[in-house]
Structures are given as C-alpha cells and as structure tokens.
Amino acid sequence: MAKKKKRVGIFSFTCDEGCSIFLVEIFNKKLAGWLEKIELVYFLSIKDHTDAKNMDIAVVEGSITSEEDKKRIENIRKNSKILIGMGSCAITGMPSCYRNNLNKEQLKEISGHLKKFKFLPKCMGIKEVVKLDGEVPGCPMDDKKFIEVFEKYI
C-alpha cells in the first residue's frame, strides 16, 4: 500500500514575507520531488486552499504582534504535529519586531495604530508563543538548512 502523504501547510505572520518568497525559489527546484511524499494543503503564495486542519507539518514565518496573530498561531500549533519556524523573525522576532526598540516618544506617536489593530504591548517571535520543533535561521532563511530540516520530517 502506498505511504500516506504528509499534509503540509505554509503560513505567514507579521513580516515582509521574504522567507515565503525564498521558499518559492526552493520549491522551484525541490517541490516536484517532494510532492511524492507531501500534499501541500495551505500556502496562499501559490495556491488558494484554506484547509489548515490535521496537518503533519506546518511551516511558519514572521512575528506575533496582535491578539489575532496569537490566536492563529495557537490554532496552527494545535492542528499540526510538527511546527517549523523559517527565518529569524519566527525564531527571535527580529527584524519584524523592531517596534520593541522604539523609545517612549516614538511609541506614543504610533499608539493610535497599536490600539486600532489590537496590537500586543510587545511583539514576539513565534518561538516565544508556541513550541517550535524545527528552526531555520537567517534573514532571509538559509535555504540549505531549510531543505535539511524539512526533509528530516517528510
């Protein structure tokens, strides 16, 4: 009997989505081979599916900056056996969490936006909010490391 394909979802949180763009480049070379082992169930950069439940692997980029982000990542964590953080934003929060370094005056200037979009008092890397099983550092992420970490789980 053929082995069941791993259900994989790719998700972006607050960031410039540079790692997703990098991932598309990696997919150009590797996806055809990987598709023998995986089913891509969620990746809005290249397909329009919204089936983000019962995943084997979720790959996430970006930072957690609002209540909505926090709820969403907690839900993805619940719905995936393995969670891989791609890029330094996911692991350390930087550079996307730059607002954590603003001084009082600068924060006052943007306080209206923080309130309007229900931003959390502190911006966090995904790793600070939920457990990551795999990490791919770099800004943008290191492509060789991504392949190594991803292939370990598929």
Task: Provide the binding-site residues for ligand SF4, judged by CB under 6 A.
Answer: 15-16, 18-19, 61-62, 87-89, 95-96, 139-140
Closest CA to 19 of 153, 136, 152: 136
Q: How far is the CB of 96 from ligand SF4 (least distance, A)?
A: 5
Token representation of residue 120: 């959390």
Tell the smallest beta-carbon distance from residue 135 to ligand SF4 (Å): 12
Q: What is the full DSSP assignment across the chain?
A: -PPPPEEEEEEE-BS--HHHHHHHHHHHHHHHHHTTTEEEEE-TTT------SSEEEEEEESEEEEHHHHHHHHHHHHTEEEEEEESHHHHH-TTTTGGGG--HHHHHHTHHHHHHTTEEEEEEEHHHHS--SEEE-BTTBPHHHHHHHHHHH-
Query: Least distance from C-beta 36 to ligand SF4, angstroms?
Result: 28
CB 60 within 8 A of CB 90: yes
Q: Cβ closer to ligand SF4: 56 or 69?
A: 69
Q: How far is the CB of 137 from ligand SF4 (least distance, A)?
A: 9
Residue 37 or 66: which CB sits closer to ligand SF4? 66
**Closer Cβ to ligand SF4, 119 or 125, answer by number:** 125
Nearer to ligand SF4, 7 or 87 (CB): 87
Q: Which is nearer to ligand SF4, 61 or 69 (CB)?
A: 61
For residue 15, the minimal CB distance to ligand SF4 (Å) is: 4
Find the residue with minimal CB distance to ligand SF4. Answer: 18
